[in-house]
Amino acid sequence: MSRLVCVSNRITLPRKTAAAGGLAVGVLAAMRVEGGLWFGWSGDVAAEPAAQPAIVSRDGIDYATIDLTQTQYDRYYRGFCNTTLWPLFHYLTDRFRYDHEWHEGYRDVNRRFAERLLPLLRPDDRIWVHDYHLIPLARELRALGARQRIGFFLHIPFPHLEVLRLLPPYADLVRNLAQYDLIGFQTAADEQSFHAGLAGVFPEGAPQVKTGSFPIGVDVDGVIAEASAAMRTEPVKRMIAGLIGRRLMIGVDRLDYSKGLVERFTAYQRFLERHATHRGRLIYLQIAPLSRDDIQAYAAIREALEQATGRTNGRFADTDWTPLRYLNKNFPHGTLMGFMRAAQVGIVTPLRDGMNLVAKEFVAAQDPADPGALILSSLAGAARELDGAVIVNPYDLRGVAQAVETSLAMPLAERQARHSAMLATLRGNDLKAWYTNFLAALSAGV
């Protein structure tokens, strides 16, 4: 079997705390089974990045990393990746900004990745590139003479053509994607949007590009084992003791404006306004580790959430009850799974999301005998699979407030039926299926 080479902007280095996000979890799972090389950014900025990647080997995986200069970080990561592509691909066009220099920086870093990766490649490697940071990488590698099969997986949504067209170099982006031997998307809808983009860029006939939808999943048995084991650990026992018999609603999201947290907090306030009987009886725990916090839009959302928390607690809290517990800290994965198992409601309401693994983890973490209910945004990729969730439009604040009430009132038999249907879906489309199916399609050729 030929070697697997994964390339992503963020990588999970051994002995560093796991990077937040599904990408790091998914790629690590594939690399643990397949072994191989994982190439990416070290997470560090250096005045003069070394000419050679730093290489660390652990448990059959070689991790090769490069640093970025401050200018590259500013233009490529903060600029084009996270202030241009991120909001645009999530349909949040009011947050979208474009700067020609950022685009130059994006191309420059992709060229740099290709130059540093090329000497490490073997002729029969399978190369798997991940996410929006690295769309031009296949073209750059090909320009340097790489002939290996190169696949690409987009972890975030792919926008409709009329949204994509807001980006001045959108045609370049589509042409660069067409250089891959296989492009994987989270959902069939994203795949269709890409083909619409392709037809828009090549009106006289689009090139043949092999695409597929490969919804990323979770390691179901791994989550079940983690969640059950976590119930016996101190942090989870302490959290449950702190509820003193009250019910728990939980949200776990990177602190990102695409996650719909401000809307969610407002909807919760509406819920408390309208359903006075639940006051004093429900605690909403929102865990939101900081993310990309040196980008202005992220700093602004943080402030808005702090204000919303203060408003809700100031208005509704009592001497012995705080309705909203909002934490910016991160927890070990197992502890999070335990918190989820202890909750009666999981709330996942992104304004747009490629997939959302938190929704899937919440389902897998539940006790099948007494499972919690999941509230899920119709605009998350996961909603296309998890039809046993209480599906909401995250902009519909009254609808979200009503969904909280519906979830809390849901009879046991209904919760069990919804949970077992969703668990069966998760098993059919788990994390192993994601990478196995993608890699099989990449090896199969056109």
Q: Give catalytic residue positions.
A: 155, 353
Cα distance between residue 205 and residue 408, in whole Å: 53
CB of 393 vs ligand F6P, minimal distance in Å: 22
Residue 155 interacting with ligand F6P (CB under 6 A)? yes
Query: What is the DSSP secondary structure assignment for residue 132, as one 8-state letter?
Result: G
Where does this chain touch ligand F6P (CB under 6 A) — which range of 22-30, 88-96, 322-330, 334-342?
22-30
Residue appearing with tokens 């900025």: 45
Q: Which of 34, 67, 131, 353 binds ligand F6P (CB under 6 A)?
A: 131
Kindly tell me which of 7 and 439 has the beta carbon lying closer to ligand F6P.
7
Residue 291 interacting with ligand F6P (CB under 6 A)? yes
Kindly tell me which of 101 and 294 has the beta carbon lying closer to ligand F6P.
294
Q: Which of 4, 5, 7, 10 binds ligand F6P (CB under 6 A)?
A: 10
Return the bridge partners of 287, or none: 252, 327
Measured over the CA atoms of residue 127, residue 132, residue 136 and residue 140, the dihedral's sign is negative
Within 10 Å of residue 446's Cβ, how many Cβ atoms?
7
Chain length of the chain: 446
Q: Which of 7, 13, 23, 403 binds ligand F6P (CB under 6 A)?
A: 23
Where does this chain touch ligand F6P (CB under 6 A) — which range of 13-21, 109-117, 166-174, 259-267?
13-21
List the structure tokens of 119. 């000497």
Kindly tell me which of 21 and 235 has the beta carbon lying closer to ligand F6P.
21
Kindly tell me which of 29 and 156 has the beta carbon lying closer to ligand F6P.
156
Cα distance between residue 433 and residue 262, in whole Å: 34
Kindly tell me which of 255 and 423 has the beta carbon lying closer to ligand F6P.
255
Q: Which of 6, 7, 19, 401 binds ligand F6P (CB under 6 A)?
A: 19
CB of 43 vs ligand F6P, minimal distance in Å: 9
Cα distance between residue 409 and residue 207, in whole Å: 53
Q: Which of 150, 156, 382, 392 binds ligand F6P (CB under 6 A)?
A: 156
Q: Are 271 and 397 in contact (CB under 8 A)?
A: no
Kindly tell me which of 90 and 419 has the beta carbon lying closer to ligand F6P.
90
CB of 297 vs ligand F6P, minimal distance in Å: 13
Residue 25 interacting with ligand F6P (CB under 6 A)? no
Residue 157 interacting with ligand F6P (CB under 6 A)? no
Where does this chain touch ligand F6P (CB under 6 A) — which range of 21-29, 272-280, 298-306, 315-323?
21-29
Q: Which of 237, 292, 384, 432 binds ligand F6P (CB under 6 A)?
A: 292
Q: Are 289 and 255 in contact (CB under 8 A)?
A: yes
The values of phi and psi at residue 199, to 5°, are -65, -35
Q: Which of 5, 13, 20, 285 binds ligand F6P (CB under 6 A)?
A: 20
CB of 131 vs ligand F6P, minimal distance in Å: 4
Order of strands across the sheet that contains 4-10 = 54-58, 61-68, 36-45, 4-10, 126-130, 149-153, 182-185, 211-213
- The three state secondary structure string of 197-239 is HHHHHCCCCCCCCCEEECCCCCCHHHHHHHHHHHCCCHHHHHH
What is the Rg, in whole angstroms, of the alpha carbon atoms belonging to the chain? Answer: 22
Q: Are 213 and 195 in contact (CB under 8 A)?
A: no
Query: What is the DSSP secondary structure assignment for residue 403, as one 8-state letter?
Result: H
Residue 220 interacting with ligand F6P (CB under 6 A)? no
CB of 83 vs ligand F6P, minimal distance in Å: 12
Kindly tell me which of 155 and 259 has the beta carbon lying closer to ligand F6P.
155
Q: Are 12 and 27 in contact (CB under 8 A)?
A: yes
Report the interface residues with ligand F6P, using CB under 6 A. Answer: 10, 19-24, 131, 155-156, 291-292
